[in-house]
Chain A
Amino acid sequence: MSTHLPVLQVVVPLLAAPVCALIRNARAAAVIAVLASWATLAIALSLLGDVMSAGVISYAIGDWVPPIGIEYRVDIVNAWVLVIVSTIASVVAPYMITSVADEVARGRIPLFYAAYLLCLCGLLGITITGDVFNVFVFLEISSLSAYALIAMGTRRRALTAAFRYLIMGSVGATFIVIGIGLLYVMTGSLNMADLAVLLPEVWDSRTVKVAYGFLGVGFCLKLALFPLHLWLPNAYAFAPSAVTAFMASTATKVAVYMLLRFFLTIFGAPFSFGVMALDRVLLPLALVAIVSMSLVAIFQVDVKRLLAYSSVAQIGYMVLGLSFASVTGLTATLLHLFNHALMKGALFMAMGCVVYRIGSVHIDAMAGLGKRMPWTMAAFVLGGLSLVGVPLTVGFVSKWFLILGALERGWWPVAVIVLLASVLALVYVWRVVEAAYFRPYGGDEGGPREAPWRLLVPTWALVGANLYFGISAVRTAQVAERAAEVLMTGVGP
């Protein structure tokens, strides 16, 4: 059975989703969703282990030999992303049971889990497949289910937020499929490894460059790079809390992976950095995203929106690492995929606990919560410290590699901007801390109590991971560095 692991990674959630929709029992659907999420984590860890020791794994769907058939191709880069996505899924899924029962209409809960599993299936599929058209198919699966998940938010504005995301997401997906179509026209192949071999012969053609442009805009829409991020803040602010925690830690990460996979593996680093000057395009956008979005975050009063804007800024860090065009820079990007998933997951889950007890995340409604909900707010503080980049948290590890990458290129002003942006992060995290700990509680005595342990345990699991991987970053850094080397050298025979 172990030879089938690459396809099982996708098939387990794909099979679990219709079962959830068929049984129409909220509790049973929740159990299935949790078990399926844990199964994907077990498979992803086992795949990462295999790839670290034995190299690339290739799986031919339907026994059709690649490049003719669809190939699932696991190398160290996507094994790493698979682990990120499935880790977050297996922590958020148990959290969903309590959080979703509170926020989603009872009759819709089984369908909610079906949509969640389809979204997970799509994200894992995008990551594992070695076929560019298959990427598009899974992209649509994950996006369509994401729109449905966001629309299930409690407030009516969730519907407009989901619709806006639908329009922007569809534009992005269309751009991506146009780019894929142009590549197919030029090479006659859809297999990634095959494309990487065939493309250098047609580098000079304008069609390939246009395809590159379409793909670039499409990916940047999907990963919400400034200035194409406008769909993100509302989508994250109005989605159910568990969905926000899941999407913020996985969806944009997978979009960054797509960008890296297409531009570095398929087109190759020499084409991206040499011919298309990708680094010079992305560098200013990333820096503007980091600074401007951190500034916007400072002036938000809804804490979920505040964190959403902070996410756009953090995506800037990931893109910044890519724009260094070096192994160190890419290591920073790949590390930050994991680290940011841990910190934003923890922060959004802490906010989910607040929503569970007081039904709002307005900054004034959170006054005095530090005493009322000590564990929840402590989780927020630790997650916030990680976001700022304080030593002994994962945020510090990311920033360390980013600054190393900047200094390696001799771009010390960039390093200064990264450090200044950390101060901005400190400001917006502090605003929440100030409200929760230094303002008096305004309500009556029988006010909110601590969140239930079923929400706190998953939240603290991620907070613990923030500290653990912040203190012993050797293993994660090793994997990220090897993955970065694979991306920079391009696909081997």
Chain B
Amino acid sequence: MREEIIVRVGAKFLAPFIIMFALYVHFHGDYSPGGGFQAGVILAAAFALLALVYGLEAVQRVLPLWFTRMCAALGVLIFAGVGVVTMLLGHNYLGYNALAADPTHPEHGQHYGILLVELGVLVTVFGVMVTVFYHFAGRGRRDP
């Protein structure tokens, strides 16, 4: 598809919007349908689109396999780490109230907490999705 000018320009044009939409789905997740899982899949879809049009090698120069694998593990650390932080702040595991900047409004902590935890989900889902895509797309060529 490298010769199709419309596809090439279209993909280049769409990719940043897909990434933006992924971030919207994440950060708006507590007001509207969405959240970390959906955002991670959408984010991975942007890179899958680029890989389909520009080829696997081009995308892996920007987003190498070791990085996506690291993401897969890092997200779990973020999720579990938020729980540890709230525990160190004197609350129960994942007690988001601990994260509130203003102790008179502990419910603000719920907002930050869920965003951070969902960020962990986003990172892991993105990492796993792209890693799986790389492995399937790279089958039969060489070890990706």
Whether B50 sits at the interface, judged by CB under 8 Å, is no
Contacts of A17 in B (CB 8 A): 73, 76
Q: Mark B72-103, 1 if CB is under 8 A from A, else 0.
A: 11101100110110010001111111000000
Contact in complex: A11, B80 (CB < 8 Å): yes
> What residue in chain B is nearest A59 (Cβ atoms)?
B92
Question: How far is the CB of A369 from the nearest CB of chain B, in Å?
Answer: 38
| Contact of B70 with A by CB under 8 A | yes
Query: In the complex, are the beta carbons of B77 and A4 less than 8 A apart?
Result: no
Across the two chains, which residue of chain A brings its CB closest to B95?
A: A63
Dominant secondary structure of chain B at its interface with chain A: helix
Q: How far is the CB of B131 from chain A (nearest CB, A)?
A: 12
Q: Are B80 and A63 in contact (CB under 8 A)?
A: no
Q: Once the chains bind, are A11 and B83 in contact (CB under 8 Å)?
A: yes
Distance (Å) between the CB of B22 and the closest chain A CB?
22
**Which residues of B line the A interface, CB within 8 A?**
69-70, 72-74, 76-77, 80-81, 83-84, 87, 91-97
* Residues from chain A with Cβ under 8 Å of B80 in the complex: 11, 14-15, 18
Of all chain A residues, the one with the shortest Cβ separation from B92 is A63
- Chain B CB count within 10 A is highest, among A7, A18, A21, A59, for A18
Report yes or no: B77 in contact with A19, Cβ–Cβ below 8 A: yes
Are B95 and A22 within 8 A (Cβ)? no
Contacts of A62 in B (CB 8 A): 92-96
Check A61–B92 contact: CB distance below 8 A.
Answer: yes
Complex: A63 Cα to B77 Cα, angstroms: 21
Mask, A8-40, CB within 8 Å of B = 1, is 000100110111011000000000000000000
* Bound-state Cα–Cα, A14 to B93, Å: 13
- Bound form: Cα–Cα A7–B81 in Å: 13
Select B76's contact among A14, A59, A61, beta carbons within 8 Å: A14
A11 CB contact (under 8 Å) in B69, B74, B84: B84
Question: With A60-B92, A63-B92 in contact, do A4 and B87 touch (Cβ < 8 Å)?
Answer: yes
A residues with CB within 8 A of B: 4, 7, 11, 14-15, 17-19, 21-22, 59-63, 114
CB distance from A94 to the nearest CB of B (A): 24
Chain B residues, CB < 8 A from A114: 73
When the two chains form their complex, are residues A11 and B73 in contact, meaning their CB atoms are under 8 A apart? no
Complex contact B73–A21 (CB within 8 A): yes
Interfacial chain A residues near B84, Cβ < 8 Å: 11, 15
Contact between B93 and A7, CB atoms less than 8 A apart: yes
- A70: nearest residue on chain B (CB-CB)? B94
CA distance A19 to B78 in the complex (A): 11
| 27 contacts across the A-B interface (CB closer than 8 A) | A4-B87, A4-B92, A4-B93, A7-B83, A7-B87, A7-B93, A11-B80, A11-B83, A14-B76, A14-B80, A15-B77, A15-B81, A17-B73, A17-B76, A18-B74, A19-B73, A21-B72, A22-B70, A22-B74, A22-B77, A61-B93, A61-B94, A62-B93, A62-B95, A63-B91, A63-B92, A63-B97
CA distance A416 to B139 in the complex (A): 58
Closest to A22 in B: B73
Give complex CA distance A62, B83 in Å.
8
CB distance from B25 to the nearest CB of A (A): 23
Q: How far is the CA of A11 from the CA of B94 in the complex (A)?
A: 11
20 more A-B residue pairs beyond the given contacts A14-B80, A22-B70, A62-B93, with a C-beta to C-beta distance below 8 A: A7-B83, A7-B92, A7-B93, A14-B76, A15-B80, A15-B81, A15-B84, A17-B76, A18-B76, A19-B77, A21-B69, A21-B72, A22-B74, A59-B93, A61-B94, A62-B92, A62-B94, A62-B95, A63-B91, A63-B97
